[in-house]
Amino acid sequence: MNFLETLILYKKFLKHNKIFMDDQKILYEFTIEKSYNWTKSKFDEKLSWYQRIKKKNKSLVTYKNLNELNGWNFRDNKELAHKSKKFFSVIGISIKNASREINSWDQPFIKQHKLNGGIIGLVRKKIKGVPHYLVEAKFEPGNFNKIQISPSVQATYSNINRIHYGKANKILNFYFKNMYTTISKTLVTEDGGRFYKKRNLHWIINTKKKCLDLPENFRWLTLWEISKFIKKRSMVSPHLRAILSLI
């Protein structure tokens, strides 16, 4: 029995027991998706892909004096900010009457430009009848493993607007422009212990477009395969885990 046949049978079961809800159809699909390896894929091959991307990464991350960071300056002794006045800044906050482990303290916070975070986007597409999700084995300098499996799009608005003069976001410009339906689109808060009032737009879409020709660090994975990666620990980014919580 394949994915579609099982989904139909599951819906019949729900209807027979009078617990089927028309507005929950997509959730029923997610339930069946992650329950089984519908593509009969060899997970070791996907694991080898991740390890290959990680091995190829030659990035070097070292500590540097805050006063010597290129493009970053202290403004009026109040915040550490980028010369463009975009991206984010590091600010100092004083907390009082907190009713926590202690009642008051001071600490630094990361404050996003205009409190706008960015877009965390996930593209879903049926390939040979089975839903797949476009993910990226993405390097971030603070990642525990350097490389973590991340959503299709993971970018701040400053990056999207190319304040850094970097490349345009190919995924965003191709898949999020047309020929898609939105599964979920909502603002999700970041960790309030480190980020100051930051929220990201979490956006999951179904696309009918072709599979874009992308670099090797991008892959279409099933929900079952992503779940396997999550169980391996430290391989999946918190952004991908957070956006998957919406489904």
- DSSP string for residues in 57-99: ---------GGG-TTEEEETTTEEEETTS-SEEEEEEEE-S--
Please give the CATH topology (third level) of the domain spanning 40-60+116-244. Answer: Nucleoside Triphosphate Pyrophosphohydrolase (3.90.79)
Q: Which of 38-42, 113-117, 193-197 has the lowest mean pLDDT?
A: 113-117
pLDDT band (50, 70, 90) for residue 217:
very high
pLDDT band (50, 70, 90) for residue 30:
very high
- pTM summary value: 0.92
Distance from C-alpha of 113 to C-alpha of 132, rounded to nearest angstrom: 33
Q: Which of 67-71, 172-176, 216-220, 231-235 has the lowest mean pLDDT?
A: 231-235
Residues in CB range of 234: below 8 A, 6 or more apart: 144, 145, 148
| CB-side neighbour CA atoms (13 Å) of 202 | 20
For the chain, domain boundaries:
1-33, 40-60+116-244, 66-113
Distance from C-alpha of 153 to C-alpha of 210, rounded to nearest angstrom: 17
C-beta neighbour count of 122 within 10 angstroms: 25
